[in-house]
Amino acid sequence: MTDTEFIIDCENLVKIYKTRDLEVLALQGLDLQVRYGEVMAIIGNSGSGKSTFLNILGGLDRPSAGKLSVDGKNLFKLTPRELVEYQRATVGFVWQNNARNLLPYLTAVQNVMLPMQITNSDRDKHARAMELLELVGMEARADSRLDQLSGGEQQRIAIAIALSNRPKLLLADEPTGSVDLKNAARILEIFRTVNRELGTTVVIVTHDRNMAKMVERVVAIRDGKTSSEFLVRQDYLEKLRDISGFGDQVETQEEFAVLDKAGRLQLPQEHLEKLGVSGGKRVRLRWNEDRVEITAPEQEEAR
């Protein structure tokens, strides 16, 4: 471990995609810190920048500006060779599309062993692969091929593959997007087991708010920036340990707006609609005893 408590330390991160005629700002000054040993989720609408951020963390894309370090490694300064080593040793990736995780002509155990063959990271690769299959509850299907496994079983094997080279950070892109509620609950429980037994930090990108409710911290990204965080209410900490509560509609988290280092925050769209204003419009700010009030100009003038 490095001399910092954060495995992910991100400040004012910018990602620009350029074509001949167009520039797209996918990330517009994202701030985020993740501690070693956390299990947390990132949520956001399509186009919010969450998948772009995950790809940058995974070393699959390069940031454009700002600051970003993962496990003490500055992702702006890694050489191509160092980036390959980072992808092999620091991060593991679980994709939503199982075809990106598994080779259909190999058995489950052979799939898990494959990354070890590339890095030669374990002397007894078969034994290590079987340990990981047991960790995800799939040791009985070790000799099964892709077409003999359900979608949930394939995703559990994909998690074992992502762990094969002992990464410090496990990234999961919509890991429950193609499975039913029961399998989604099982996958989340596996992430917790991986975190508890291996000490692996887990970052999950999801649009599934039910799944997001079952972790202790959720970061919402909107328009390429951190807009809010959801932290679990203390009276629901025990409930989170009971996976049978998965899908319960009771609110287990409180939402907090995130104030960036320049003093800016994003207001949720539903709040703006209730206020009767839209983005780019003027509002009035007023200090009232122990709080800041935001009002539409016409509301203030009507007082």
pLDDT value at 136 more than 60: yes
Report whether 64 contacts 26 (CB < 8 A): no
Q: 260 and 271 share a domain?
A: no
What are the tens digits of pLDDT across the range 172-181? 998 887 778 8
What is the predicted pLDDT for the residue at 193? 93
Boundaries of domain holding 224: 36-63+79-266
Backbone angles phi, psi at 157, to 5 degrees: -70, -35
Q: How many CB atoms lie within 10 A of CB 178?
A: 15
- Which CATH number does the domain housing residue 195 bear? 3.40.50.300
Q: What is the mean pLDDT of residues 6-22?
A: 89
pLDDT higher than threshold 50 for residue 55: yes
| 119 lies in the same domain as 179 | yes
Measure the CA–CA gap between 266 and 213, rounded to whole angstroms: 21
Read off the pLDDT of residues 76-132 as tens digits, 9 standing for 90 and up.
999 999 999 999 899 999 988 776 778 989 999 999 999 888 766 667 889 999 999
Residues 226 and 240 in one domain: yes
What single DSSP character describes residue 107? B
Q: Which residue has the tokens 């990132």?
A: 42
Q: Is the pLDDT of residue 2 over 60?
A: no
Residues 194-253 pLDDT 10s: 999 999 999 999 887 776 777 888 888 887 776 667 665 544 444 444 444 445 544 555
Tokens of 294: 């935001």
The angle at the Cα of 195, spanning 252 to 170, to the nearest 5 degrees, equals 100
- The terminus-to-terminus CA distance of the chain in angstroms comes to 57
- On whether residue 17 sits in a domain, the answer given is no
